[in-house]
Amino acid sequence: MQQTIDSQIQARVRLLLARKWVDLKSLTIGTTNGTVYLGGGLKLTGGKNGEGRGGRTWLTRLRQEICAIPDVNDVVFQFHQIEEEND
Q: How confident is the chain (87 residues) per 10-residue block, as mean pLDDT?
A: 94 95 91 96 72 74 96 94 63
Q: Which of 2, 55, 51, 47 is nearest to 23 (CA)?
A: 47
Residue 79, SS3 per DSSP: strand
Q: Kindly list the structural domains of the chain, giving each domain's residue range(s) and its CATH number in brackets, ordered by start.
A: 2-84 (3.30.1340)
Query: What is the pTM (predicted TM-score) of this model?
Result: 0.84
pLDDT at 38: 96
pLDDT at 21: 87
Residue 85, SS3 per DSSP: coil
d(CA 49, CA 9): 28
Q: Which of 86, 82, 84 is nearest to 42 (CA)?
A: 82
